[in-house]
Amino acid sequence: MTDYLESKNSIKNWNEDDRPREKLALKGRSSLSDAELLAIIMGSGNRDESAVELAKRILNSANNNWNELAKFTIQDLSKFKGVGEAKAISIITALEIGRRRNSQEVLEREKISSSREAAIILQQQIGDLPNEEFWVMFLNQGNKIIKTEQISRGGITQTSVDVRVIFKRSLELMATAIILSHNHPSGNLKPSEADINITKKIKEGATLLDIQVIDHIIVTQKEYYSFADEGLI
């Protein structure tokens, strides 16, 4: 009975004017609301709600913000009636594709010429993560991005860093400069004493290898702190 009721709320059983898939085909993707886009990803609602109605409720719980929704886990999404593991995974997958797409678009920029440009890229990678992660942006002689990689992953308040891994990857990628970065899930941008000490340690080692440490950037979802801008490098 439940399967029958859910199938009645499937998008393909709606009136033609209410079908977001058909709306997209006829009017283009920009004509769809956020709820309609999410409804297409889910495919169906529950016995009491259409897919769009359910999508509106899910988005509302995330303050109607895709970045906030991207933080939801499978367990978080599965709390909504009509969202099982399969739908939850579909939603998370779609949001991850969007995050990677944004990252790839930014990485196509030729050159890093300011802390802000680097911070924008790094925020897309780690700005909204629930745990601290340490990343390094490897640059060539023209300050063009070779690669941006995760070095370590820690807990909510800290992550350890093996400087040997940073130097090993720098040499493998033939990087002449690096930008260090980690996120602060707490939202507090102030660098800790450990942050300052590890930056000094990496810079000292990099000097021996003729690798320039351009900056160390702490990021949150919306803000960043640049060691270079603050005169700490």
Q: How many CB atoms lie within 10 A of CB 224?
A: 21
Q: Residue type at 53?
A: E
Q: Rounded to an integer, what distance in angstroms lies between the CA atom of residue 21 and that of residue 41? A: 10
Structural domain that includes position 199: 111-226
Read off the CATH number of the domain in which 151 is found. 3.40.140.10
Q: Within a 10 A sphere around the Cβ of 56, how many other Cβ atoms?
A: 19
pLDDT classification of 102: cutoffs 50, 70, 90: confident
Question: What pLDDT, in 10s, does the model give residues 25-63?
Answer: 888 888 899 999 999 999 999 999 999 999 999 999 999
Within 88-193, strands assigned E span 133-139, 145-153, 177-183
Using alpha carbons, list the distances in angstroms from residue 145 to 109, 126, 138, 207.
8, 17, 6, 20
State the Cα–Cα distance between residues 92 and 90, nearest whole angstrom.
Answer: 6
pLDDT digits (tens, 9 = 90+) for 121-172: 999 999 999 899 999 999 999 999 999 999 998 876 667 899 999 999 999 9
Among 87, 103, 119, identify where a domain stops. 103
CATH code of the domain covering residue 11: 1.10.150
Same domain, 116 and 221: yes
In tens, the pLDDT along 11-25 reads 555 554 458 888 888
Give pTM, 2 decimals: 0.60
List the beta bridge partners of residue 219: 183, 224
- Tell me the two tokens of residue 73: 């886990």
Q: Which value, in Å, is the radius of gyration of the alpha carbons in the chain? A: 22
Give backbone dihedrals phi and psi of 227, rounded to 5 degrees, phi first. Answer: -60, -40
Within a domain: residue 231?
Answer: no
Do 119 and 99 belong together in one domain? no
